[in-house]
Amino acid sequence: MKPNIAYRPLVELLENRLQPGSLLANPGSGVPLLPENPMLVAPDAEASVPWMALSVPEQAEPRPAAQPVAEPRGRLDVAAPAQLLVESGTDTRFQRHDGDGNWDDGWDVALSRARNTAALAVAALPRLREPAPATPVASVPQSPIGVAIPASAAAIVGINSPTASVPTSPATHAVPVPLVPMGSGTVSTYAGYQTMSGVHAVPLVLANPSNHMGGRADNQATLNFLSYLGGTGPDSIKSVAVQNENGANFIYVAGSFTDSNGRTDAFAAKLTDGATAAVWAETLTVASPGPDTATGLALNGNSVYLAGSIADTAQTAQTDGLLARLDASTGAILATGVLPNASLAAVTTDSAGNVYAAGTIPDPLNASRQDISVAKVSGDLSSTAYNAFLRLKYLTGEDANTSVTSGSGLLVDGKGSLFYAASVSKVGDPSNATQPLYGWLVEFSGLPRRVKEFTAADPIGTPGPRGQGTAVAFDPVGNVVFTGSFNNDGGTPLGQDLFLGRVAPITTFNPVGQPLRDLLPVDAYTWYVDDRTPQHNRAGDWTGTGLVVLPDGSTIVTGAAYDPAAPNDPPLSMPTNGIDIHLTHFLASDNATPTAGLLDADPQNTFGGSGTDIGMALALDPTNPNNVYVVGSTDSIDLPTGPTVMEPAYGGRSPTGFVGQASVT
């Protein structure tokens, strides 16, 4: 068993865009976290004033307690208290202190005029969380991520575990990772979003009648169906959402599709359950050479929203962010909008029908850096509530590159608060080292304001260009669960480790009634594939690109796995056939899997063919949370497809998409 060591790494820099079928690249430093025992203290006063947590009615655990795991880990170090400066005769600003003399001016607070200047030490409340969203999670279809309908389902167990046993020891390679708050930053608005009428929908015929089948007969997952989805390629499926309509499930997917002329178009389709047929399938084309892509997908009623990027028709080597609204019944384009000189990746909606999108934009003030772009527009895409870009700096003062590149990287809580997964790197870093980034924006006076961002570095990895945050989702009590990948240049094909954890959003109030918001860490772990020797040397790869949260707070994470050292002993663990899709079930503690007590905690439910297979996104069955839908990219000619799916055979010469469903019981 690997030693139970909580590593204390220096923050390192990473970056990656793990696009289907390929590995691409994109950009922390840090301090520890906030203390647990809150008290509002005036250092120059004789008495302290008790801290008030008026907006948090429940002082509950931030997530359901997992079944006991020996030697629990994940208790993260805490840091110097934040500070609230009250200046005489003026309004002032809430700032966080990093313990090293640096201030974070991310949250403006208008305070009553004070008679004297006082420095007030502010500490976050322990185990407090944001009140339940006004829109209950999963009550409105918002995105292809989130919490399952809290049905009275049986206890969730891993597909590849013979029993539902709770591990008697923690996962031996779930290594605790300290989350590190980012430095100062600003949110600035800018003009640019505009409606667009030049996007056309072109119907596609996807079915391929031949059937190679084959593939791994010993794959660990219980696959209900698996189908290719694409053309001659290169194609990819990057997002999925499932909606029950009149008693039947329909699968909505988005990605990119290369047409017969070699042009890559943004693509969306609506499939019948089981991927037996397409209700509609459309490419979104514009008068440009491409390539275009749809990365994010969200459902709201009879509207399908897509976020992506299109090649600019007037500027070479420039892309524009694309938002599109389609009719869910027919696939017809109802409205489109663009954000010039930008790229959009993720989209979600709130209960009022507002649409939120996030992506990347070149910094308007510094052409050598890029920033996170966020926008809020009306449901018909005709008007803009705000466009903004988030500029971050490391605590040591360097400019930071940041970007949202995953379709699962944006979440809204029903009150206008946005949570995102992104990547961060230092501008000018010669190694282009990047790492995952997660943050929270709240709407204040109609504009987004940043609350806090966290980053982390793999304690067993090597800095490099393949780290990123990819997905966020709510757990049943309102914590934000996140996943992503760390770079780890270990000489293996992917060179990555999986990252999984969660934070608790909280809101407290200062004595004059102003809200103070913060993200408290619950846990964070890096997972790696080992060689099964007593030394537990790293021997493979494991990425996190999409996740769903189950009713008990546990998660299923997808991505890619390379695990050549697994014992040939199904159903517990099987060596991967090159790079395979995984659907790994993690307990709500995030540091163990249901099979950890039976075997070392390894990538679960790996399946694929003889090529490179990557899971990109997940969605839960709205009527049965034991079923999970998965989409992604493959260049294997021998996926274990079935005879009833619409594309049982590989029809391309480049990576193509796939869609499938597995049962978790």
Looking up residue 333, the CATH number of its domain turns out to be 2.130.10.10
Q: What is the pLDDT of residue 7?
A: 31
Average pLDDT on 449-459 reads 90
Percent of the chain whose pLDDT exceeds 90: 44
- For residue 489, what pLDDT band results from cuts at 50, 70 and 90? confident
Distances 203 to 278, 279, 464, 645 between C-alpha atoms, Å? 11, 11, 41, 19
Q: Of 35 and 229, which is predicted with more confidence?
A: 229
Residue 51 in domain: no
Q: Of 180 and 103, which is predicted with more confidence?
A: 180
Average pLDDT on 613-637 reads 94
Q: What is the pLDDT of residue 518?
A: 92
Q: Among 147-156, 260-269, 473-482, 563-572, name the one with the lowest average pLDDT.
A: 147-156
Residue 28 in domain: no
* Tokens 């605790």 -> residue: 176
Whether the CB-CB separation of 35 and 127 falls below 8 Å is answered with no
Q: What is the pLDDT of residue 530?
A: 87
**Is residue 108 left, alpha or beta, with left meaning phi > 0 and alpha meaning psi from -120 to 50?**
beta
* Tokens 């507002």 -> residue: 354
Give the DSSP letter of residue 493.
S
Residue 157 in domain: no
**Residues contacting residue 3 through CB under 8 Å, at least 6 positions apart:** none
Question: What's the number of domains the chain is made of?
Answer: 1
Q: How many CB atoms lie within 10 A of CB 82?
A: 24
Whether the CB-CB separation of 294 and 350 falls below 8 Å is answered with no
Residue 217 in domain: yes
Q: What is the pLDDT of residue 220?
A: 58
Inform me whether the pLDDT recorded for 547 exceeds 80: yes
Whether the CB-CB separation of 660 and 639 falls below 8 Å is answered with no
Inform me whether the pLDDT recorded for 570 exceeds 80: no
Q: Among 71-85, 275-289, 426-440, name the one with the lowest average pLDDT.
A: 71-85
Give the DSSP letter of residue 40.
B
Residue 186 in domain: no
b/e per residue 406-432 (b: at least 16 CB within 10 A):
bbbbbbbbbebbbbbbbbbbbbebebb
- For residue 194, what pLDDT band results from cuts at 50, 70 and 90? confident
Average pLDDT on 283-292 reads 80
Q: Among 362-366, 421-425, 541-545, 627-631, name the one with the lowest average pLDDT.
A: 362-366
Q: Among 131-140, 379-388, 429-438, name the one with the lowest average pLDDT.
A: 131-140
Residue 203 in domain: no
Inform me whether the pLDDT recorded for 95 exceeds 50: no
Distances 635 to 221, 229, 269, 614, 657 between C-alpha atoms, Å? 20, 12, 20, 9, 9
Q: What is the pLDDT of residue 19?
A: 34
Q: What is the pLDDT of residue 33?
A: 25
For residues 266 and 256, give the distance between their C-alpha atoms in angstroms, rounded to a whole number: 5
- For residue 600, what pLDDT band results from cuts at 50, 70 and 90? low
Q: What is the pLDDT of residue 437?
A: 96
Q: Please name every residue paired with 250 in a beta bridge, in sequence order, or none if there are none.
A: 243, 272
**Residues contacting residue 314 through CB under 8 Å, at least 6 positions apart:** none
Residue 9 in domain: no
Q: Whole-prediction pTM value? A: 0.77
Q: Among 98-107, 494-503, 510-519, name the one with the lowest average pLDDT.
A: 98-107
Nearest CA to 604 among 221, 36, 163? 221
Q: Report the mean per-residue pLDDT for the chain.
A: 74
Inform me whether the pLDDT recorded for 6 exceeds 80: no
Inform me whether the pLDDT recorded for 73 exceeds 90: no
Percent of the chain whose pLDDT exceeds 70: 69
Q: Which long-range contacts (CB under 8 A, 24 or more apart) does 309-315 make?
A: 309/342, 309/343, 309/344, 309/345, 309/359, 310/199, 310/266, 310/284, 310/286, 310/338, 311/286, 312/288, 312/340, 312/341, 313/198, 313/286, 313/287, 313/288, 315/341
Structural domain of 301: 176-181+212-663
The pLDDT tens digits of the residues spanning 19-50 come to: 333 322 333 322 222 222 222 222 222 222 22
Question: Between vectors from CA 190 to CA 184 and to CA 195, what angle results, nearest 5°?
Answer: 140
Q: Reduce the secondary structure of 413-469 to three states and give it as a string.
A: CCCCCEEEEEEEEECCCCCCCEEEEEEEEEEECCEEEEEEEEECCCCCCCCECCCEE
The kind and range of the H/E element at 355 are strand 355-362
Inform me whether the pLDDT recorded for 65 exceeds 90: no
Whether the CB-CB separation of 215 and 355 falls below 8 Å is answered with no
SS3 129: coil
Q: What is the pLDDT of residue 572?
A: 62
Q: What is the pLDDT of residue 630?
A: 98
Q: What is the pLDDT of residue 1?
A: 31
Inform me whether the pLDDT recorded for 76 exceeds 90: no
Average pLDDT on 154-183 reads 52
Nearest CA to 574 among 584, 586, 559, 564? 564
The pLDDT tens digits of the residues spanning 393-452 come to: 877 778 899 999 999 999 999 788 999 999 999 998 888 889 999 999 999 888 999 999
Q: Of 228 and 134, which is predicted with more confidence?
A: 228
Residue 13 in domain: no
User: Alpha-carbon Rg of the chain, whole angstroms?
Assistant: 24
Q: How many CB atoms lie within 10 A of CB 626?
A: 19
Instruction: Give the sheet arrangement for strand 92-97, strand by strand.
Output: 103-109, 92-97, 82-86, 118-122
